[in-house]
Structure 1
Amino acid sequence: MPEGPRRPRRGATTIEEVARAAGVSRQTVSNALNAPHRVRPATLARVTAAIRGLGYQPDQSARSLRSGARRTIGYLAPVDDPFDPNPLMAGFLEALVDAAGARGQRVLLFRPVPPTADPSAAVDELVAARQVDGLVLADVVREDARVGHVARLGVPFVTFGRTGPGEPQHWVDVANDAAMAAVVRHLAALGHRRIGYLGASEDLPWMAARRAGFLAEARRLGLSALVAAGPETAAGPETAAVRALLRGPDRPTAVVAGSDLLALDVYEAVRAEGLTVGPGGVAVTGFHDTPLCRHLHPALTSVRLPLQAIAVSLVGRLLDQVRGQPAPTAGVELAGELVARGSSGRPAAAPRRAVPRESVDTGPDTA
């Protein structure tokens, strides 16, 4: 059946038209948009239905001029390689955009030019232009110059990562030590008594916390804890350090890595020593639960970071500051989630070495 003639396209729906359709005043519609707690539930439902039915879109620029709020959050993006991006921070950005959108906010990414330059000038320019209501900083380290600079500017800000004593406690972070302790308990419950550890530089506070959590829990459970160490300048130092650990007299039956990328070095070292990864061989675990975990063979046991919860908490704490709420006196620590996969399992009496393909026994597996 042919469609009837279309109505001529009109201009954008106005707030007055929404008010007439809902049978309320213009101020009531404004309250429904900006302060819904002031509107009775039945009235709010009528206004919301009218907004949806008419396709009304509030004029954000006009609202910003009236309130002074830009409804935009600035995110100082960490320096990264576009050809080898950090999968963790990419996931965090996705979570941050979603969390901001749910609160009617946008995220503006910015970075110093060139990328290696001091970020202070880029921050100053953004704040002076009044383009954002507040800032999010990530990858915060000890005595981070960015934190001190933004705090001196007096602009609302939050950090993914802990700030130090004497600095504003606007941070949200993962309980890295507790998450690593959960990994140790998982391996101990499977029967592992000798556990190795491979971590990155302890100048990174999250890596230092993971190592501390590993050692403390291993000590509490009476396990043998072996930390892989090797020359910093050697080719492939991480793999070499793990190989040295596996050749030692007290060879570990499991190796805990401080990140998923470090776990790749452990896989390489285990196989270079003629051993297998997983049950009956050397158990391996990672940290971050990046997508590569599911594609390794066997799939990697790892700690999943609560990126969505981190982003929601950061946005909430930032908007509280923007609205003049008292500054928090303590940060927020969120738990990671252990995701067990095939790379961790019960140890054999001794780690099983890989058998050359031509020597494989086709009979029943009694290992």
Structure 2
Amino acid sequence: MTASDRRRATITDVARRAGTSKGTVSMVLNDRPGVAPATRARVVAAVQDLGFRPSGAARALSLSRADAIGLVLARVPATLRSDSFYAPFVAGLEQGVGHADCAVLLRFVADEAAEAAAYRALAEGRRVDGVVLADLRCDDPRVDLLADLGLPTVTLNRPDVPSSAPAVCHDDVGAVEQVVAHLAALGHRRTAYVGGPLRYLHARRRRDAWRRATRDHGLAPGVEVSADFTAEGGARATHELLDLRPAQRPTAVVYGNDTMAVAGTVVAQHRGLVLPRDLSVVGFDDGELSAYVRPSLTTVRTDPFAWGEQAARTLVDLVHLGPDHAAVPTDVHLDAPRLVVRDSTAPPAAHPIEETR
């Protein structure tokens, strides 16, 4: 191994060489009890062989507390103005840390490329005791990064890469199946799906669940549009769907969140459609206003407030107990999301009216 390779060694490399977890490596590096002598010897040997040197920030984080947890979002802050998930989710985080006299540090970064620098700055500055990892991506590199930085982490749902961090989960797949079953029972045979960017793990899982459910219910393969969870994205996707030829146009559209669903409702109404007779609409999240729009929105209730509160409590427990404690939190499974049927879904009309554009 060259000197350059030695400088690049990470805690992940040490864990792999020693045949143990990154949490165990962290315990050995910080001279904590609870590691078997043979395991400790393997870790020490791997550290020496790889020339690994733990960062001062990672070691300091194990010895002192900032009394704050972090949430880093690779989003433009303005896009959250009408978001039906993150406002109640952040409120839940605040509720979850209240009992521990702890603060929530929210950071926005320009793009995903800037996230690594943001996490490193939080760790090196000892500004947070741990982070909640949201918007999980496929093959998410942040899982290993946060372990290498020594930052205690709680993920929203379980990632598709190895992770020793506890996760707070809910069943998106079951909720999507409920939606498709509802539309099929109403008599819809042509449905469409407007989801989020497929780099997000939850967007891909929901899309895949929608595909399976439509196939299982004998529906024709529907049109899929990838949007961005914003009202503008939902409106643009709806125009795209309504511009299809009548034989291809869906009689029902499932949206990845309520914001896009409400925007889609407005677009369809402006184009002269009568909802839900000419188009059924389903959202996701059950935002506060979803019961008050007209028609009131059929949607999936996910309770982001409870998700944020439980994620914060799990992270605070993880920080306070430490990796060498026998009661380190495990995965938490929230109540399954459920379909809330309101006025925006109905059997499709035999002869939909023509648009008035």
Q: TM-score, normalised by structure 1?
A: 0.66
Does residue 74 in structure 1 map to residue 73 in structure 2? Answer: no
Structure with greater Cα Rg: 1
Q: Is the 8 A contact 2:198 2:226 kept in 1?
A: no
Q: Once the two structures are superposed, what CA deviation does each residue of 1:301-336 show, in whole Å capped at 9, x if it has no partner?
A: 111222233224323432342203455675746522
CA apart distance, 1:298: 1.1
User: Residue type matched to 2:209 in 1?
Assistant: G
Select which of 280, 288, 296 maps to 1:283: 280
Using the alignment, how far apart are the partners of 1:312 and 1:271 within structure 2? Answer: 37
Q: Which residue of 1 aligns with 2:53?
A: none
Does residue 100 in structure 1 map to residue 107 in structure 2? Answer: no
Q: Which residue of 2 aligns with 1:198?
A: 194
**Judging changes above 3 Å, is the alpha-carbon distance between structure 1 residues 219 and 114 closer, same or farther for their aligned structure 2 residues?**
closer
Secondary structure in 2 aligned to 1:192? coil
Secondary structure in 2 aligned to 1:276? coil
Q: Which residue of 2 aligns with 1:168?
A: 164
**Bigger relative contact order, structure 1 or 2, given CA contacts below 8 A and separation 6+?**
2
CA apart distance, 1:219: 1.4
Using the alignment, how far apart are the partners of 1:132 and 1:187 within structure 2? Answer: 45
Any gaps of 5 or more consecutive residues in structure 1?
A: 1-66, 357-367
Q: Which residue of 2 aligns with 1:45?
A: none
Q: Which residue of 2 aligns with 1:218?
A: 214
Using the alignment, how far apart are the partners of 1:134 and 1:183 within structure 2? Answer: 36
**Judging changes above 3 Å, is the alpha-carbon distance between structure 1 residues 169 and 230 closer, same or farther for their aligned structure 2 residues?**
closer
Secondary structure in 1 aligned to 2:238? helix
**Judging changes above 3 Å, is the alpha-carbon distance between structure 1 residues 117 and 213 closer, same or farther for their aligned structure 2 residues?**
closer
CA apart distance, 1:69: 4.8
Q: How does 1:1-367 map to 2 (within 5 A)?
A: 68-82=64-78, 85=81, 86-101=83-98, 103-111=99-107, 118-229=114-225, 237-245=236-244, 247-271=245-269, 273-278=271-276, 280-322=277-319, 323-324=321-322, 325=325, 332=333, 335-353=336-354
Q: Is the 8 A contact 1:172 1:334 kept in 2?
A: no
**Judging changes above 3 Å, is the alpha-carbon distance between structure 1 residues 195 and 91 closer, same or farther for their aligned structure 2 residues?**
same
Q: Which residue of 2 aligns with 1:12?
A: none
Q: Once the two structures are superposed, what CA deviation does each residue of 1:181-207 show, in whole Å capped at 9, x if it has no partner?
A: 111112222232332222233222222
Q: Is the 8 A contact 2:241 2:250 kept in 1?
A: no
User: Residue type matched to 1:276 in 2?
Assistant: V
Using the alignment, how far apart are the partners of 1:78 and 1:90 within structure 2? Answer: 15
Secondary structure in 2 aligned to 1:111? strand
Q: Is the 8 A contact 1:141 1:162 kept in 2?
A: no
Secondary structure in 2 aligned to 1:224? coil
Using the alignment, how far apart are the partners of 1:355 and 1:163 within structure 2? Answer: 46
Q: Once the two structures are superposed, what CA deviation does each residue of 1:114-147 show, in whole Å capped at 9, x if it has no partner?
A: 7887244443343344443322222221233433
Using the alignment, how far apart are the partners of 1:115 and 1:269 within structure 2? Answer: 29
CA apart distance, 1:96: 0.9
Using the alignment, how far apart are the partners of 2:122 and 2:264 within structure 1? Answer: 43
Q: Once the two structures are superposed, what CA deviation does each residue of 1:278-312 show, in whole Å capped at 9, x if it has no partner?
A: 1x321111112223423432122111222233224
User: Residue type matched to 1:177 in 2?
Assistant: V
Count how many residue pairs are aligned between Structure 1 and Structure 2: 285
Identity among equivalent positions (%) equals 32
User: Residue type matched to 2:162 in 1?
Assistant: G
Q: Which residue of 1 aligns with 2:44?
A: none
Q: Once the two structures are superposed, what CA deviation does each residue of 1:230-270 show, in whole Å capped at 9, x if it has no partner?
A: 999x9x7513321134x332543222122223324532553
Moved more, 309-318 or 208-217: 309-318
CA apart distance, 1:275: 2.2
Q: TM-score, normalised by structure 2?
A: 0.67
CA apart distance, 1:159: 1.9
Using the alignment, how far apart are the partners of 1:229 and 1:138 within structure 2? Answer: 23
Any gaps of 5 or more consecutive residues in structure 2?
A: 1-62
Secondary structure in 1 aligned to 2:291? helix
Using the alignment, how far apart are the partners of 1:261 and 1:213 within structure 2? Answer: 21
Q: Which residue of 2 aligns with 1:40?
A: none
User: Residue type matched to 1:284 in 2?
Assistant: V
Secondary structure in 1 aligned to 2:85? helix
Q: Once the two structures are superposed, what CA deviation does each residue of 1:63-109 show, in whole Å capped at 9, x if it has no partner?
A: xxxx95554323335533347523421110001111221x3242231
Using the alignment, how far apart are the partners of 1:217 and 1:83 within structure 2? Answer: 31
Moved more, 293-302 or 123-132: 123-132
Q: Is the 8 A contact 2:283 2:298 kept in 1?
A: yes
Moved more, 281-290 or 159-168: 159-168
Q: Is the 8 A contact 2:168 2:333 kept in 1?
A: yes
Using the alignment, how far apart are the partners of 1:355 and 1:68 within structure 2? Answer: 65
Using the alignment, how far apart are the partners of 2:171 and 2:259 within structure 1? Answer: 20
